[in-house]
Structure 1
Amino acid sequence: MRSGLKSCIGFFLLLWTGIVLPGACTCKGGGDMISEMREFDSFFSTHVDSVATAPRRMRTQVLQRMKAAKDSLVRYNYLSVALKTCLATSDIDSAQLLIREIEDFTGRQPFSHRLADLQSECLNMKGNIYSRKGYIDSAEVCFKKAYEWRLQGTKPETIPDILINLADANNHLGRLDMGVFWYRKALLICDSLNMPSDRKFPIYYGLAQGYMTLRDYEQCDYYSELAAKNYDEMLPDEKHFYLNNRGNSYYYRGDYATAIGYFRKVVELVKDYPDMRWGLNLSYLNLSDCFLQRNEADSAAKYLDLCEPFFKEIGSTTALYYIDTQKIELALQRKDFAEARRLLTVSKASPEIDADMIHIRNKYLQQFHEETGNYQRAYDYLKKNDRLDDSIRNERIRMRTADLTLRYQQDSTLMAHKVLFQKQENEVLALRQTRLVTLAIAVIAFLIAVFLYLYNRKKHDLLLAQNRRTVSTLRLENIRNRLSPHFIFNVLNQEVVNRREEEKQELASLVKLMRRNLELAEQLCVTLSEELDFVGTYIDLERRSLGATFRPDIKIAEDVHPEQVWLPSMMIQIPVENSVKHALRGKEGERNLWITVDRQERGIRIKITDNGGGYRPDSRHRGTGTGMKVIMQTIQILNMKNKEAIDVAVHNVTLPDGEVGCEVTFLLPDKYDYKI
């Protein structure tokens, strides 16, 4: 019934224009046409807020004025305002009929700057309709054409609004760098036209939305707070967009209580504006997902039932896809797997679905397959979301976004200086023209020469640094890959020889040791806590072969926090392994191993000491030295890029009981960079 009512409204408007407009296709004299156009401009600038606050009353007024106007171009400008009111009341069918009527008129007229304004307005509204229905690619095309036509028109002050729409479309398509580019361009135009700050807040909450997609909530909050300064001056639909974006940002942070608060503010806002059906139903849709995340299935179902008829009515593919996604999760929470499977069968994603919607759907599909026991499919959807995260929020986009934001700040200052310089230059241009041109050419030539020199030098330095990093990385990978098989096969050989069937604990420790060793082989550096955990597992495995006389002792000073201390991986394990294999295993009597960690003036000191008779180069048990070579080469590579180096000392010591042992000491500086 509601859909039929909309069609009737659209037919009424079309019928009215069909009666009035065809008979007035011939324009009046130029002076009368200019007078009527000025009257239209005055009326629109005075009542523009009514398009959002009282759209139906505004529609009645513009239709009456359209009927009284004599010039056809003026009449269709009034019709474009009626088109805006249809969009404000979500009368999509009527809006599409009016768009076709305006396009038919503009297609028959010769070019003029005022006609370009009308074409731009029509294309902008057409893009908004495509956006609401979920056809974002088509919306982007319309916004680009609207921008191109507006450049040929007479109202440059409206260009930022079109660019905001174009930026938002690119954000929805996942092209966040282009979204920020168009927002930046809108800001530049606002600055160049000296527009007041209250014209910029849509750009600010648009930038906030882009950073929300990047999950950079610090920047998101920064631009949201800039927009909030003009909250009281916002129109109702602008308040809706602001509150909705704020709610979405807290939804993606997992703060569903705060998100619900913002979405409910939207519901309260639109109570005074019954024509804002789009904003109301979008808030219902967002509220339902928040309640799903809180496992409040009944509340979620209530809001889904409220908003689903509206989005079916307007045919919004993105919203309907989102509704089906939530229904799948709702069925999962109610353990209705048959319903969830049915929804998966009938619900398909179109190519233009927002990336965030696909991300949410994949998360629920992962949960569905986990609960139905299909772990392979669950893992596939987990990988899809990981790839989606990488494609949307990779480092390249972050760098591009930061660069464009910085360039806006620089360009705004540069533009202000250029304007001031131009005013001063015009006063003496007649007398100094030749001199200034000559000087400018000389300066430009000098700057180009300096730039080329610095550019080539910078390029050479970057290439040299990149080659060094590549060589260092390859050396390190080669060194570390030599160690892992060496260590693992030694432990495996010993375990195969000595293990008995009942020694389950040792087998578990071996498995843990192997797994952790493989992990450490992939890491350049680890925390002290992780390294000591690995060493402890190794020592536990060796206890059996060394017997009851083996007494390891690990002491960590109270002012040392193992979770906060970083060191090259296996730096402690390799000296410990050497002590066990080459010193303690063949020793008679007590076999002691001490590991002490304390804080010194320059950093953290780590000592590994044994009573195995000391280091003897001529001993047949001394080993190949591969382990310590790896540690020394790793430290050497790291020391190349640090001002303070890691100190290493290996020497024999006389113990208090008179025995001789070997002591390996490492001193880790407090401020040390472990990145290559």
Structure 2
Amino acid sequence: MSIIKRIVLLSTQLCLVMPCFCQREKIDSLKRELPSLRDSARVDCLNELSGAFLKLEKVPTEWKDINIAATAGYYAASAYEEAKKINYTHGIAESLSYKGEIERLSNNFPQLEKICHEAIEWYRDAPNKKRLAETYYNLGFALYAQSMFTEAIKNLDTSYQLYEKNNNTREMCKVNTTAAVVYEESGNYEKAFELARKGLKLATENNDDWLRRTLLSIIGSLFEDIQDYPTALAYCFQATQNLKPNEYNNFNPRLLRVIAELYSQQKQFDSAKYYYSFFDTTNERGLRFYLVSFGECYLLQKEYKEALPNFIRGLDYHKRLNDRNWVMRTLLDIAKTYLALRNNDSAFKYANESLNIAMQSGAKQVIRDASEILSSIYDHWRHSDSAYFYYRQFTTMKDSVLNNVIKGRLAAYTFEQKMELLNKEKRIQQAQLQKESLWRKFLVIGIIVLMFLAIIIVRIIMLKRKNETNKRALAENELQLQKLESERTKAEFQHQTTELEMQALRAQMNPHFIFNSLNSINRFILQNNRSQASEYLTKFSRLVRLILQNSQATLITLQSELESLALYLEMEALRFDYHFAYKIAVPGDLDVEVLKVPSLIIQPYVENAIWHGLMHKEEKGQLDIEVSEVSNHLFFKITDDGIGRKQAAALASKSATKHKSMGLRITADRIAMMQRSNGTESPVTINDLVNADGSAAGTEVIIKIPVMYD
């Protein structure tokens, strides 16, 4: 039977705390405040410093030479002395509580018990009982380590009630876990299973992965106690999920021991030794458990001479710390070893010592095994009366322990049934949540699509009305131009006419681009590509907003035009699965925030290069847009390495659908309007690029417009 080690409970107590970096900042802050504080405020600061050092998960590099426990002890002792001088009751109680915590980390259980009793007495008169629950917990732990199981449970119950009063669920789970271990140690497996299940439920509900893993390992130990080794191993490995054996020590060192012991019990000694090889024996706390556990591995292999030195060394450590549970276990192991070596005198000595401690603590398993050894020795010595006495004691304890094991197996069966039911309910809930989440996503996407469609339809209607209004105004201006005789008046009205025509063309340009984008969104939705549809919708909404803003002005800044163009290229690259790369080159000395250009003047030619040049190319294409200023003119050069106009025209002639780019026609009309309005040339030049062998190398479009400002 495997008894939960002290190291298990120490690991259970050390719940997840603030990261080391935060604790270090807190310590530095408290140290800065300390010199300016006096009386009770100074005592409270000293106590906080002690607690902050105890919470350090690992020593920072610059503090590598500092003994954390000793430093925490220094501040706790200083707090105690200063609190005594001013008779500060709460400060005395809290400093004693921290001193007890330090003794617990040092495994000094008698001293821990003494300090906790003293702290509790001071807390009775203190108005602030901040660490009273933790003090009762430490007292229960100290009593348990000394095999005073009944008293340990009483103090743990008090601690649980205080934490429950403060609604501290995590600490309740910690106390519950320790109580389960105490019941296991005393042989009450039924109660241990009950508390372990309760603790596991609390840890799972609170998403506390560390405590959940710890409780799974304790449940594995309980299954080991009732000799269900495969199930025990299953729970232990469930506790170590996503951890490597060399990482077990960082999480919970007991897992290595429990897993190794389970393999030993199943005579799989190579596997057991594999896990023993990862055990951390660099400190006394880990070494004392390793010595006894590995000695038992030797004992099971009947390698008595190798086992005995381990037991003797381990016993010395346990006795010095008054860890009576492990003292009983080790004494019994030594007695079994000497009995196997036919050294009855030594076997009698250690078995009798183990029995005396077990009778005081009520550890039935130890009473049973020690009585069996003593009965065998007395029988060998032919002391029939004594042999019979211990044999009767052995059978009585055997029946009692067997009864507890049977109850434990029933509890384990009930536990497994409840866990299966809980897991089944959890799976059903997860499936239901996934289904509801999927429906919510579809609903949200549907609502977003409908909203965009509604906005677009309203916008199109508004644009049509605006277009009609502009056309009516254009007609009226044309009539007035015929009536006006003054050339100056005619020129002014001509300018208004040109401006209105430009607005009408921009109004046609906006729905053209919107329709193209809607086609792309529709294709993503039909392909059930939700992530790309969502990303495309986001970029589309930004671009629509820019277009709506830009459509209100005759001219926009070059910066706004390039921003819209970049967003459009991102959308096209996403839509065509990044089949082409692009680059926009602007000289650093060009003032893009001041220069004005007509909106969407470049986009139609970029669109034409993508659709008719690059998309028909098998390999990945390249699209370059260069902006330059020469002789008071802006030049936009759009270059692609696509299939060329000739091959694109041939492909278009074979297509069943004949499509003429509305965007190019509208843009050409706009450039013509601009030429007429400014009286300067603004030509569009298209050049076919060829390779050295005469094959098509792409197309180059050069747009020339005059430099314009506000």
Flag the structure with larger Rg.
2
- The two structures have a TM-score, normalised by structure 1, of 0.48
- The two structures have a TM-score, normalised by structure 2, of 0.46
